[in-house]
Amino acid sequence: MSARPIGQPLDRVDGRRKVTGHATYCAEFPLEDVCHGVMVPSNIARGSIVTIDAAGARAMPGVIEVLTFENAPRLPDKGRGATEPPAGREKSLLQDNLVRYHGEPIALVVAQTLEQAMDAAAHVRATYAEEKAVLVFEEAKAQRCKPEKAGGGKPDREWGAAAQAGADARIEHTYTTPMEHHNPIEMHATIAHWEGERVTVYDATQYISGVREVIAKTFGIPEENVHAVCPFVGGGFGSKGSVWSHTVLAAMAARVVGRPVKVMVTRAQMFVNVGGRPCTEQRLLLEAQRDGALLAVEHHAVSHTCRFEDYTEACTQPTRSLYAAPRGHTTQRLVRLDVSLPTFQRAPGESTGTFALECAMDELAYELGMDPVELRLRNHADREPCSGRPWSSKKLRECYEMAAGRFGWERRNPQPRSHRDGNWLVGWGMATATYPAHLEEAHASAALMPDGTVVVRSGTQDLGTGTYTVMTQIAADTLDLPIERVRFELGDSDLPQAPVSGGSMTVASVGPAVRAACEALRAKLLELAGGDASRMYARPAAKVEVHAKASPAAEDETRQAVATRSFGAIFVEVRVDADLGIVRVPRVAAAYSAGRVMNLKTATSQLKGGIVMGVGMALLEESLLDTRSGRIVNANLADYHVPVNADINDIDVAFVEENDTRFNSLGARGIGEIGITGVAAAIANAVYHATGRRIRELPITLDKLLPLNEN
């Protein structure tokens, strides 16, 4: 072989199936006699159902059943037996008459066709005893509460010495981000089919094993009686990391009607029933000496959750890790609203937190008259500030140098409104990107087939990120085989167990398991050959299979003594129309320190996609809550704006060479989420440079910029 497979920019091994329509997504499995379920939403935000009339719907053509709280099967503990995140969440399963948010499912109509089910769902009538809902963030802040944990750690953290006097510069501002919602191309969908006491669930998910566990616990059946299948995911971004109501309702209905039931979440329901990013209010305080050295950093964040489950947007996490301030203090608080449950959305906490922190750093740089890159280098953290632990590997300095050079940052005039091109005000801004490195125990198997090919299996998921391809490369590299002689299988709960595809942990977790399985297979073959591989040619054709696992505990003990994060530097140019306030982003240059790159092509694609989402976060995305009714009023892609081709221009992504073997045996960290971090701040900083207008509230829309005349 001319080059080892790992690191090569290979095409996706599943690409042909996708572009030719042969990739089967969960709503497309061709089960016989399948019928359709449609959820009926509540139209109040808080209260209880007094009466529900489904008689008219039941009499309509094609209707098989209408499930409500009056006739739905009773579940053990009302279905709350599996509510441990990430897989388990509080669900709406027709177990009582309570209404907790606008759009909560209050019935499920099952009919022969989707159209018949939709029509009948519109004819289910309910009357309510409505209660006053809490829907205004500002009003609810008086009752803010402290979460038990945030981002897997303590909600509050304080480190360093007492406050020092004599700061030459002090920045204290509040930054806000709105509710946002996931909008992957593939909306959530489930097909459930019972055969006796065993159920098969085809579910669009980021966590096959989680689906199996939640379904089993919810129905009180053994896990071996649940088979979850998901070979392809058309995007998830965190929303498909948990099991939501529609999945369990599909299984419930299928058991009742004795037929496969398909439930597809509509685009409007994506804004209600499968989570989203909560709004945040973040107060940043920075104190520094004249030379730029930080003396103190404080980051106090408030985010919303629902009334029935805590979810914390852990936006103070980057502040605990990025800059070497001798004193730090971070806090997280929650505000309870009568809305649906928020959840993980790409780089939860880190994307919102870097917006606030990196804007504040830019403001401090202007206060001190320093270059924003110089300020960050002056406060580069050689150890994690909040813990004092050394980094497993960190090449952030190289990221600043590489990205700044590719962007041409040295030509920047720091004066706001100093560059104009006709009617366009031109601005340059930058920010730091970061995301923590995670891994969990994963299992894989490897089998040599009679035809000489190798099949490697693990119950992980491919969200469109390239998991099929990367795991094939790792297996081929370990076995020294051509790519075309290796096949990787995933997306089935009967395969060796793997963790959720969230937290950017799939490659870091499953990759070492794949390598371990392939090493075990090679050792097994040598054992069978008595140490002489040539003897295998004399053996009759037979399948040889081995299983292996990769556990964090089995990694180098030093991993527990180090802090591990990925880092990057983002530089952007914006152009702002001086009359209309329209913002354009003609170019982005970014460099990342993210461990060993497994596939240069898919990795670059991942980071470009994250940057595109960062553009949406900065300029477009906002879910608008009607504070009278609790309804999301822009629950469609006509009114909820996301970037399209016309919004995106040149994105230049580069990697600093790195091999983080203190983190795992592959030297690889995840890259699925770091791409969105820092982007919104870099754009906001560039908008300030272009216009002299500091926008601290996302998204940056025309009304917040106008008027732009200098008088």
Count of domains observed in the chain: 3
Q: Report pTM.
A: 0.96
Torsional sign, CA 321, 323, 328, 331: negative
Q: Are strands 442-448 and 98-99 parallel, antiparallel or unpaired?
A: unpaired
Q: What is the pLDDT of residues 244-283, one digit of tens each?
A: 999 999 999 999 999 999 999 999 999 999 999 999 999 9
CATH label of the domain that carries residue 245: 3.30.365.10
CB-facing half-sphere around the CA of 506: CA atoms within 13 A: 28
Query: Distance between CA 371 and CA 359 in Å, rounded?
Result: 14
At residue 491 the predicted structure's pLDDT band, cuts being 50, 70 and 90, is very high
CB-facing half-sphere around the CA of 639: CA atoms within 13 A: 11
At residue 1 the predicted structure's pLDDT band, cuts being 50, 70 and 90, is very low
Tokens of residue 615, six digits: 């553009």
Average pLDDT value for residue range 421-443: 97
Does residue 353 share a domain with residue 264? no
Average pLDDT value for residue range 101-119: 98
At residue 153 the predicted structure's pLDDT band, cuts being 50, 70 and 90, is confident
Instruction: Confirm whether 461 is domain-assigned.
Output: yes
Does residue 397 share a domain with residue 267? no
pLDDT higher than threshold 60 for residue 449? yes
Residue that has been written with the tokens 């920047």 in this structure? 412
Instruction: Confirm whether 624 is domain-assigned.
Output: yes
Does residue 664 share a domain with residue 531? no
pLDDT on residue 534 = 60
Query: Distance between CA 690 and CA 92 in Å, rounded?
Result: 48
Average pLDDT value for residue range 226-230: 98
Q: What is the pLDDT of residues 656-689, one digit of tens each?
A: 999 999 999 999 999 999 999 999 999 999 999 9
Q: Which of 550, 583, 613 is the last residue of a domain?
A: 550
DSSP category for residue 257:
H
Q: Which of 550, 572, 588 is the last residue of a domain?
A: 550
Q: Which residues of 599-613 are buried (b: 16+ CB within 10 A; e: fewer)?
A: beebbbbbbbbbbbb
Does residue 331 share a domain with residue 461? no
Instruction: Confirm whether 346 is domain-assigned.
Output: yes
At residue 164 the predicted structure's pLDDT band, cuts being 50, 70 and 90, is low
pLDDT on residue 163 = 62
At residue 3 the predicted structure's pLDDT band, cuts being 50, 70 and 90, is confident
Does residue 449 share a domain with residue 431? no
Does residue 509 share a domain with residue 447? yes
Does residue 461 share a domain with residue 350? no
Average pLDDT value for residue range 618-643: 98
**Percentage of the chain surpassing pLDDT 90?**
91
Q: Which of 508, 530, 550 is the last residue of a domain?
A: 550
Q: How crowded is residue 96: how many other Cβ atoms within 10 Å of its Cβ?
A: 12
Q: Print the domain residue range for 391.
A: 280-438+562-705
pLDDT on residue 636 = 97
Instruction: Confirm whether 143 is domain-assigned.
Output: no
pLDDT on residue 622 = 98
Does residue 68 share a domain with residue 195? yes
At residue 510 the predicted structure's pLDDT band, cuts being 50, 70 and 90, is very high
Q: What is the pLDDT of residues 553-574, one digit of tens each?
A: 666 666 779 999 999 999 999 9
**pLDDT averaged over every residue in the chain:** 95
Does residue 542 share a domain with residue 615? no
Instruction: Confirm whether 261 is domain-assigned.
Output: yes
Q: What is the pLDDT of residues 294-344, one digit of tens each?
A: 999 999 999 999 999 999 999 999 999 999 999 999 999 999 999 999 999
Query: Distance between CA 454 and CA 482 in Å, rounded?
Result: 10
Does residue 447 share a domain with residue 431? no
Query: Distance between CA 96 and CA 87 in Å, rounded?
Result: 23
pLDDT on residue 151 = 84
Q: What is the pLDDT of residues 348-403, one digit of tens each?
A: 999 999 999 999 999 999 999 999 999 999 999 999 999 999 999 999 999 999 99
C-alpha dihedral over 574, 575, 576, 582, to 10 degrees?
Answer: -90
Query: Distance between CA 260 and CA 537 in Å, rounded?
Result: 48
Active-site option among 313, 573, 622, 673: 673
Alpha carbon separation from 655 to 404, 410, 597, 675 (Å, rounded): 13, 20, 8, 12
Amino acid found at 492: D
Instruction: Confirm whether 16 is domain-assigned.
Output: no
Does residue 638 share a domain with residue 492? no
Instruction: Confirm whether 166 is domain-assigned.
Output: no
At residue 529 the predicted structure's pLDDT band, cuts being 50, 70 and 90, is confident
At residue 550 the predicted structure's pLDDT band, cuts being 50, 70 and 90, is confident
DSSP category for residue 222:
-
Instruction: Confirm whether 24 is domain-assigned.
Output: no
The yes-or-no answer on residue 673 being catalytic is: yes
Q: What is the pLDDT of residues 564-619, one digit of tens each?
A: 999 999 999 999 999 999 999 999 999 999 999 999 999 999 999 999 999 999 99
Query: Distance between CA 73 and CA 64 in Å, rounded?
Result: 16
Alpha carbon separation from 496 to 88, 140, 442, 456, 460 (Å, rounded): 20, 46, 8, 10, 9
Alpha carbon separation from 6 to 443, 448, 481, 555 (Å, rounded): 20, 21, 12, 20
Does residue 515 share a domain with residue 652? no
Query: Distance between CA 3 and CA 404 in Å, rounded?
Result: 31
pLDDT higher than threshold 70 for residue 532? no
